[in-house]
Amino acid sequence: MNVDNRQRLLRIAFFTYSTRPRGGVVHTLELAEHIQDLGHDVHVFALGKDEKGFFRPTSLPSTFIPCIMGERDESLDDRIQRYIDTYYQFLVNHLETSFDIYHTQDCVSANALWHASEKGLFPFFIRTIHHVDDFVSPRLIQCQKDSIYRPEHRLVVSKYWKVRLMSEFGVDSHIIHNGVDISRFRPPTDAQRKGARKKLDVSGKTVFLSIGGIEPRKNSIRLVTAFDSARRQLLAQGLDPILLIAGGETLFDYTPYRTEFFGWLHDSELEIGKDILLLETVEDEQIPELYHAADGLLFPSVKEGWGLVVLEAMASGLPVLTSDIPVFKEYLQHEENAIMVSAEDESSIAAGIEKLAIDLKLKQRLASSGPKTAELYSWESTAKAHLEYYYELLSAKSKPLFQHEFRCE
């Protein structure tokens, strides 16, 4: 590609399945905003039940595709298919050739774009694969396979998922890591920390934070079981521990898992409101305050794409405990910038929680090293890496960067 083309501004369409604060949606907004800040023309498309927009304010040009996001007695298979069909019909009826780059972040929009590309609406599209779900339904398994095989180009957010895609699906991919907004997530001042703790009424307590809701991938049941065990030890040492569980928006129905979670909680000695606070609806502007109020992040996930929450906490100067899954080992080192535990071992998680509360020297080291690690993964650098990738693709295809028109009725 000649210099003029590489310097030419691009028109980029981003596609996501929701307006709610899930990882892929957060990724889409942050990436699009930072690419827009670099002067490029972006537009974000998302399924939405109304015109209220995304979970947080954004200056991004956006189109919300009308869709009821869940119906009573509708199976997950039928719901996902309805989402795909709704997305596809919108693309066919309202999207004219318009962008240089079409970039999707999830299974739903990837399937819709695949079918639309077969109609010749655009020459190719890119899919970022954050992780692969463990579906049991043949229909959803095929849906996921199509979202991996059908895109002509694939991005992943970690080396682990690049290897997994090649070994399990035989497809290659390009790595561009997630980023973190280091201007928004910063260590608190003493006044900010005091104010955040007072607001949550947790002054004087040892506060552990978990963000991501109650679901199998977040290892929620093992987490509360381990916390219960660690809590007894910490109480014996004069501490007053409390666990805050925040978030919970998800595409999938985890009712059986949540029922098991609350059943265990009911039978335990833990008291909701005293030992555990469930903050399932948290506004985006409250997230930094949660990091400021906490003494440690607990994130023993069994599966992650990269771990946006971990980087946000580290940027905020909050010591983190994570599982020792391969993804986290790409940027974390045990007792250097994180405490790493076995996701499958409740005693390992409990011991890590105790250490996070008691070992003050280690806690200080983690609080100091966290922001330094986060600085390596800014959204600005991630946006620039994406632009370089886009230009390389367009150059390889020897297609001119042409002007288009976009129409949404």
Write out the DSSP string of 221-253.
HHHHHHHHHHHHHHHHTT--EEEEEE----SS-
Does any domain span residue 260?
Answer: yes
Does any domain span residue 42?
Answer: yes
283 shares its domain with 342: yes
CATH number at residue 72: 3.40.50.2000
Mean pLDDT of 234-261: 86
Position 71 pLDDT exceeds 80: no
54 shares its domain with 94: yes
231 shares its domain with 146: no
pLDDT grade for 136, boundaries at 50, 70 and 90:
confident
Retrieve residue 216's tokens: 């199998």
CA–CA separation, 341 and 350 (whole Å)? 9
Mean pLDDT of 265-274: 92
pLDDT of residue 4: 44
Does any domain span residue 210?
Answer: yes
Q: Are 316 and 289 in contact (CB under 8 A)?
A: no
Mean pLDDT of 147-156: 97
pLDDT grade for 409, boundaries at 50, 70 and 90:
very low
pLDDT of residue 314: 98
More confident residue, 371 or 266: 371
244 shares its domain with 281: yes
Q: Are 210 and 243 in contact (CB under 8 A)?
A: yes
227 shares its domain with 323: yes
Alpha helices, DSSP H only, in 150-285?
Answer: 159-169, 190-199, 220-236, 255-267
Count Cα atoms within 13 angstroms, Cβ side, for 138.
0
pLDDT grade for 135, boundaries at 50, 70 and 90:
confident
Position 26 pLDDT exceeds 50: yes
Position 50 pLDDT exceeds 90: no
Q: What type of residue is 17?
A: Y
* Residues whose CB is less than 8 angstroms from the CB of residue 98 and which lie 6 or more positions away in sequence, other chains included: 11, 13, 404, 405, 406, 407
Mean pLDDT of 296-322: 96
Does any domain span residue 382?
Answer: yes
What value does the mean pLDDT of the chain take?
Answer: 91
Does any domain span residue 121?
Answer: yes
pLDDT of residue 48: 87
363 shares its domain with 287: yes
119 shares its domain with 198: no
pLDDT of residue 72: 67
pLDDT grade for 189, boundaries at 50, 70 and 90:
very high
298 shares its domain with 162: no
Burial class (CB in 10 A: 0-12, 13-18, 19+), 192: middle
Task: Write out the residue range of the structural domain in which residue 362 sits.
Answer: 190-376
Retrieve residue 312's tokens: 């946000």
152 shares its domain with 234: no
pLDDT of residue 287: 94
pLDDT grade for 74, boundaries at 50, 70 and 90:
confident
Does any domain span residue 154?
Answer: yes
More confident residue, 168 or 250: 168
Please give the C-alpha separations between residue 13 and each of 92, 109, 160, 335, in angstroms, as whole numbers. 15, 12, 27, 41
Mean pLDDT of 77-86: 93
pLDDT of residue 7: 72
pLDDT of residue 404: 45
Mean pLDDT of 289-303: 97
CA–CA separation, 135 and 141 (whole Å)? 6
Does any domain span residue 407?
Answer: no
Does any domain span residue 131?
Answer: yes
296 shares its domain with 389: no
Burial class (CB in 10 A: 0-12, 13-18, 19+), 380: middle
230 shares its domain with 154: no
pLDDT of residue 52: 74
More confident residue, 31 or 75: 31
Mean pLDDT of 316-336: 97
Q: How many domains does the chain have?
A: 2
7 shares its domain with 103: yes
